[in-house]
Amino acid sequence: MIDFEIPEKIAGTRLVVETVAVNMMRPVSRYFDEHEHEIPWDYINFMHTATRAMGGSSMVPSEKKEGPRFGFQRLAVMVEMLSWGDAGIYLCTPGGMLGSAAVSATGSPEQKERFLKRFRGETPVFDAMCMTEPQCGSDTSAIRTTAVLDQEKKEWLLNGEKIFVTAGHKAMLDSEGFVVVWATIDKSAGRAGMRPFVVEAKTAGCQVLKMEHKLGIRASDTVSIVLQDCRVPFENILGSPEVVKDQATTGFKGAMATFDATRPIVAAQAIGLARATLELLKEMLAERGIIIRYGLPRQKLSSVEKEVIEMEILLRSAWWLVLKAVWMMDNGKPNSLESSMSKVRAGDVVNRITQKAVEIMGPLGYSCEYLLEKWFRDAKISDIYEGTGQINRLVVARQILGYRSSELR
């Protein structure tokens, strides 16, 4: 049965991460917001060393079967706390991100061992996932990047362009890093022809084209990647190379399974940011003599008190949705519905709370003297990446009403 309390096994990890968030992230939060594309190496190196000392990679959940499984719940708790420290710096955490999630969801046991063990080495390693293209955003089935098999050399030849790749620059810094590129091996097959490929850093024909300047999460790099006759070993395809037209395949299913695993983690990021905002708002109000009086009838509360209490309710309910989604993931239960619900809810909540905090504090909320305005900017990405709020609402509606994607768009 699901338990909303943080297990003792995870509580110790959260305490370590909280120390990092307080002492290594918050003090430099404004600096890395103003120095976009500068890499926070002190944080990265510390997190890599600390997580190795604790027995593994920070961002790759364990697949051990013995006893209760807490991998994704542990990850959600860590991400919530790190995002409380700084959402952009959190996205620089080494140890496996979206690319690793794709490997975990679609790779063979041999591929998982081959690629994921890299994150347990002595130096920080990064990965990324390349899905979005200039002509296709949320419609992942419309990708045009192609993968053609060179039968003679037993290599895949990839051509195309990917945009808005989170951490793509860092993934290309070291030869141990990699990106997972989604491409089609048969355009005529539609979704059935889509497959993920592991493209390792330093591979000829794979190049970072540009780095984006962004509204928020500026400590994290977001890049465009071009693939021009990029040759990838045959064994770097994740899933079967066989195409069965007009049938659901491991390729497209793998993309959806990746999102089922990562969307609650994005939601956890939003929760951490919302909690940071709400805590600072209450502190600023208290300094000005406004204390929230809990337990009074609603008609006796001031408008500000009502707003804050409502925000706390929204925050708590969104966090519970995240916990349910990751609990299901840890216990091997299908969680596509709960995964999308958690992301929709958390994306709405973090945007409402950060916007309302800026409004309540007026000029102080708008000023760079405090982090409220930064968190307002950082919040919007939670509603955009890993499937926009609109797309996730469609996923939820289809699941509840029993419609296929072709029937409800």
Active-site positions read 386
CA 15 – CA 54 distance, rounded (Å): 13
For residues 116, 117, 118, 123, the Cα torsion angle rounded to the nearest 10 degrees is: 130
Which residue shows structure tokens 């995240």?
322
Phi, then psi, of 34 in degrees rounded to 5: -90, -15
